[in-house]
Amino acid sequence: MNRFEKSTTAQQIRLERRLPSYWRVTFDHPPLNIFGPETIPQLNEIIMALETDERVKVVVFDSAVEGFFLMHYNFFAPLEDTTSLPPGPTGLQALPDMLVRLSRAPVVSIVSIRGRATGVGSELALASDMRFASSEKAILSQWEVGAALVPGGGPMARLPRLIGRGRALEVLLGADDVRGDLAERYGYVNRSLPDSKLDAFVDALAMRIASFDKQAIADTKRLVDVASLPSDAEISLEWDAFIASLNRPASQHRIKALMERGFHRPGDVEDRLGYHVGQLGG
């Protein structure tokens, strides 16, 4: 957590190679770990390394920012900063491209969720292979419908396959905060663990997988992919719907109202986003 490390760069994501076979990726963009267009190339560089490194077998994503795992998109950034990014290798736009490549990478991805995983944070978690959450401190949410937006990073394709249509619709259309224990009951995360045990559990699982054979891991995962991954076409529809929703007066009105309440700043709106999107009125 040494803040001096980041000093002069705008680097928001730290990569630590704990072993050649076991990497840690830590979101460290205080105070809120908001995800913006400038975050995309940083994350993309890491995902490219995961795709091509011959020794890495497992990667754990976590956060160095108290209270926030990874958050929604940056609504202060001009939309053009995002839409002008070139499409990625899959032909999808840059953000969904990265997420589908993470799902298919020949590496096991594990998210360790402490604090809020909202918007892109939830979408990265859903695109990863496994999700573990702090019972006391994890909050997952897809808040977008509460702001008259359509989520854009794949949750309509991924959540119903993971937790069933009914609970997926509740998460997406209720747009409310989901705490660790409910997330486990719903299957939104693999397990929620007492906060004091989360790090040791995830580290032991990662070390275990890092001791296994890379080809057996990659071949087995690839066969699970056949049975469980949505097509890129499905993911593409979501991104288009998200971009279209950004341009509608209803979302601009609601995001402005959230801004007036304190959105994008440390405080109650970001801490209890589920509550606040329910207060914007009809």
Query: CB of 233: closest distance to a second copy in angstroms?
Result: 9
How many CB atoms lie under 10 A from the CB of residue 205?
Answer: 18
Q: Which residues bind a second copy (CB under 8 A)?
A: 21, 108, 129-131, 144-146, 148-151, 156-170, 172-176, 184-185, 187, 189-190, 205, 208-213, 215-217, 219-221, 223-224, 226-230, 234, 237-238, 241, 245, 248, 250-251, 254, 278, 280-282
| Residue 39 or 121 with smaller CB distance to a second copy | 121
The count of residues in the chain is 282
Task: Give ∠ CA 135-255-161 in degrees, rounded to 5.
Answer: 45
Q: Which is nearer to a second copy, 58 or 65 (CB)?
A: 58
User: Is residue 127 within 8 Å of 99, Cβ to Cβ?
Assistant: yes
Q: How far is the CB of 276 from a second copy (least distance, A)?
A: 12
Of 80 and 213, which has the nearer Cβ to a second copy? 213
Residue 129 and residue 143: Cα distance in Å, rounded? 22
The tokens of 190 are what? 């693999």
> Residues 203, 24: contact at Cβ < 8 Å?
no
Determine the distance from the C-alpha atom of residue 202 to the mean position of all C-alpha atoms in its chain, rounded to a whole number: 17
Contacting residues for 13 by C-beta, under 8 A, at least 6 apart = 25, 26, 27, 28, 29, 39, 42, 43, 46
As given in the structure block, the two tokens for residue 69 are: 């795992």
Q: Which is nearer to a second copy, 60 or 64 (CB)?
A: 60
Min dist CB 166 to a second copy, Å, is: 5
CB of 120 to a second copy, least distance (A): 16
Closest approach of a second copy to the CB of residue 53, in Å: 15
- 97 versus 238: smaller Cβ distance to a second copy: 238
